[in-house]
């Protein structure tokens, strides 16, 4: 059973920015990320929507949390955006990809993190990815990626990349 809660409306939104929409027929991949922070999904959402020079998504702020799902340290899966939303999780992969972000600061290429994914996060991630692969005929196990596959070597970290490689070829 998935420990999942819908927070699409409960998480604060940017006052005027919105996501572009897509047809679910366009969805063909999953891209997994780490937060590079131990902040929870709500705090990360506030950072994403806040305008400013330090916002890596946009100096104007993003419409909302930049992933479709967030997985807290205790394994709780948070639905943060509709799957029709084109969120800004991976340059060149946003239209076709579903973004999943795990809370934590994990070691990856060029980055020394301060913790590892929890057992609960691994369980939730596997169940969520299994569910999405079963729902979307366009998503094959080989279409599950880490952000590292698209030029961000530290994301989602070594341990999650091992999970992804094992998952692709199970």
* Residue at 65 is within a domain: yes
* Residue at 64 is within a domain: yes
Residues 78 and 71: beta-carbon distance below 8 Å: yes
Q: Give one word for 61, left, alpha or beta, with left for phi > 0 and alpha for psi -120 to 50.
A: left
Kindly report the CATH number assigned to the domain that includes residue 137: 3.40.80.10
Domain extent, residue 34, equals 22-168
* Residue at 3 is within a domain: no
Residues 85 and 133: beta-carbon distance below 8 Å: no
> Which tens digits make up the pLDDT trace of 99-143?
999 999 999 999 999 999 999 999 999 999 999 999 999 999 999
**Range scoring the smallest mean pLDDT among 54-63, 69-78, 158-167:** 54-63
Structure tokens at 154: 């530290």
Q: How many domains does the chain have?
A: 1
The CB-side HSE value for 33 (13 A sphere, CA atoms) comes to 25
* Residue at 141 is within a domain: yes
- pLDDT > 70: what percent of the chain? 100
* Residue at 7 is within a domain: no
* Residue at 46 is within a domain: yes
- Please name which of 27, 47, 25 lies closest in space to residue 38, comparing C-alpha atoms: 47
Taking residue 150's Cβ as centre, other Cβ atoms within 10 Å add up to 15
């Amino acid at each position: 059973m998935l420990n999942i809660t819908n927070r699409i409306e409960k998480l604060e939104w940017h006052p005027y920015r919105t996501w572009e929409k897509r047809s679910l027929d366009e969805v063909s991949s999953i891209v997994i990320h780490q937060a590079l922070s131990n902040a929870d999904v709500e705090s990360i959402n506030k950072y994403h929507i806040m305008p400013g020079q330090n916002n890596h998504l946009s100096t104007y702020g993003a419409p909302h949390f930049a992933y479709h799902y967030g997985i807290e340290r205790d394994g709780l899966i948070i639905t943060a955006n509709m799957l029709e939303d084109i969120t800004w999780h991976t340059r060149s992969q946003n239209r076709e990809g579903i973004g999943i972000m795990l809370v934590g600061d994990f070691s990856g290429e060029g980055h020394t993190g301060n913790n590892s994914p929890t057992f609960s996060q691994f369980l939730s991630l596997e169940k969520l990815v299994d569910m999405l692969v079963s729902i979307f005929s366009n998503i094959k196990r080989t279409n599950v990626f880490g952000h590292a596959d698209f030029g961000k070597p530290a994301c989602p970290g070594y341990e999650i990349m091992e999970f992804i490689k094992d998952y692709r070829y199970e």
